[in-house]
Structure 1
Amino acid sequence: MGPTTKRRFELLPVYYLLPSLFLVLLINFYPFVSGLLYSLSDGSLIQQGTFVGIVNYLRLFTMPDFIHSLYFSAIFAFFSVIGSYVIGLGLAVLLNKDIPGRGFFRVALLVPWIVPSIVSIISWRWMLGAQEGLVNTFLVWLGFKPILFLANEQWAIFTVCLIKIWRSFPFMMISCLAGLQSIDQSLYESASMDGAGRWQSFVHITLPQLKSITVVCWILMTIWSFNDFDTIWLLTQGGPANATENLIILAYKYTFTKNDVGTGSAMAIVALIILMTLATLFLRNQNKSQD
């Protein structure tokens, strides 16, 4: 085989990847560059506007609604990640044992993750969104007063976080279950022979062995929660009184409702920078722990 033929075979995988690479750049890179350019201008949906530099970014941190949406996005992502992970890990540990109906429960508990978001969220809104809803009807039947789950600010924040956890725990469960099945059982046997109990084995064997999967799941769930549009929009549209308005919904409102594309694009870029920073910190911390 001559040098020319060898070089041709080395370049063959590149040729196969070029169409896919072109599509990825077209679908992801072009919108990103366009959004970045919009964030540096004062344009609208109709007019491109003029270049204003970082004025839109500087103005963000003087806007009360931006500060509030940033705070709520962090709260929403934090409780979504922690809540879904705790529930998912607990169910994964339970389903990793030889219990009756284990196969059925493994499939049934995936339903919140599999069902389309518009179906599940509209169903939740039907049950919670009015005083005559199913949940309030049941509360009145028990002798309690109806609760305005989506009309009261505190209850609305609690409700959107709870429904996000309900939608997200199956992903954590299936990921942790896969990690649990890869742990060498001889570690638990050795720990048992040394007198370690179940809780000690869980803390000193299970959690460390799941650390890599946990970090990846936390990063993905943080990104999904921070960028969650459909859960909040279909439930409250950011209300009441903008109490559940996260950064993505605020960017959407500025872009398509207030026709301020520059400010909306700047908010989206800020969200991207925050998420990239968090992902980098998570991965760097994991690499230091492994070293």
Structure 2
Amino acid sequence: MAATPLSTSAWRTRARQLLSPDFVTPAVMLIPSLALISLVIAFPVAKGLWFSLTDGSLLRPGHFVGLENYIDLLGDKNFWNAVRFSTIFAICNIIGCYGLGLGLALLMQQDMPCRGLFRVLLLMPWIVPSLVAIVSWRWMVADEKALFNQIIALFGGSPVYFLSDSTWAVVVVIAIKIWRSFPFMMLSLLAALQTIDRSLYEAAEIDGATPWQAFCHVTMPAIRNISIVLCLLMTIWTVNDFDTPWLLAQGGPAGATENLVVLAYRETFARNDLGMGAAVSFVTLLVLMALFTFVLRLQKED
């Protein structure tokens, strides 16, 4: 019976804390932001979740079917093909962008003639609108009369049908995605490299460290956190990339370059199955959330 006054006292203390200006003032100031977030994020997400639980289309609302769309999705080979390509697409793009971006960032940090001009030129793939860039690449690889095949013919080679062969189509989509994405990685890593204290390199040189040892033990630890954030951002952008696989090959040939976003688009607009398209989108969201939670938890433990 002695616990009741203590519980009442703790409750009153908690109530006073919640009603204090230190809590009420920030809460009131957050209300507009929370209302805006609810309007532009929470409501569309909730509506999309509802669509994924129905058998509706773009022309009719449909009926509640529970998890039927998700069950059908797990048994759909097109879904697993999209998961496989999305995984390969993301891993290759992250490795390619990070390697190329870090290498160029290290190069652009050195004293060299026309360094500013080179920085501007290297940003061009990121600045050019995706539609213009991808259509230009498609013109260069589309058929036997394309620019690349004309160059191959000059050396006596046979035409390569880049967008008609599954393997070559995957390679081309990944290569163009890396070409479009590495400038952001390069610029961000260059900014991170410029924040490293130069005295650390001087101390490493005095201790007899080689340039490679200085890179491994000074540079990489210093940019580790920003590298994790950049790779996570690149994962989001790659998994959600619709422009590159669609504008190049419409997810083909035979679904070889169809990622989860293209599959969701095809289910929704080509097959007029809104429920299945929404289910694909939510599975993608859950996978990305799980990945982020795992990586950020590892980073926090370190």
Partners of 2:233 and 2:109 in 1: CA distance:
23
2:89 corresponds to: 76
1:251 corresponds to: 264
Partners of 1:18 and 1:131 in 2: CA distance:
59
Partners of 1:148 and 1:278 in 2: CA distance:
36
* Residue identity (%): 52
1:100 aligns with 2:113: yes
Partners of 1:277 and 1:200 in 2: CA distance:
35
2:217 corresponds to: 204
Partners of 2:23 and 2:233 in 1: CA distance:
37
Partners of 1:75 and 1:8 in 2: CA distance:
49
1:109 corresponds to: 122
Partners of 1:11 and 1:68 in 2: CA distance:
51
1:220 aligns with 2:228: no
RMSD after superposition:
1.7
1:131 corresponds to: 144
Deviation at 1:118, TM superposition (A): 0.3
Map 1:38-187 onto structure 2 (within 5 A): 38-187=51-200
1:36 aligns with 2:63: no
Deviation at 1:55, TM superposition (A): 1.3
Deviation at 1:75, TM superposition (A): 0.4
Deviation at 1:124, TM superposition (A): 0.4
1:3 corresponds to: none
Where does the alignment leave 5 or more consecutive residues of structure 2 unmatched? 1-19
Q: When the two structures are aligned, how many residues end up with a matched partner? A: 283
Label 1:245 to 1:105 Cα distance change in 2 as closer, same or farther (>3 A). Answer: same
CA deviation string 1:121-165 (max 9, x = no partner) = 011001111111111111111211111111110000000000000
2:25 corresponds to: 11
CA deviation string 1:230-273 (max 9, x = no partner) = 11110011001111000110111111111111111000000000
Deviation at 1:21, TM superposition (A): 3.9
TM-score, length-scaled by structure 2: 0.90
Deviation at 1:14, TM superposition (A): 3.9
1:233 aligns with 2:246: yes
Greater Rg over alpha carbons, structure: 2
Does the residue aligned with 2:232 lie in a helix, a strand or coil? helix
TM-score, length-scaled by structure 1: 0.93
Deviation at 1:25, TM superposition (A): 2.3
Does the residue aligned with 1:93 lie in a helix, a strand or coil? helix
Amino acid at match of 2:162: F
Amino acid at match of 2:25: L
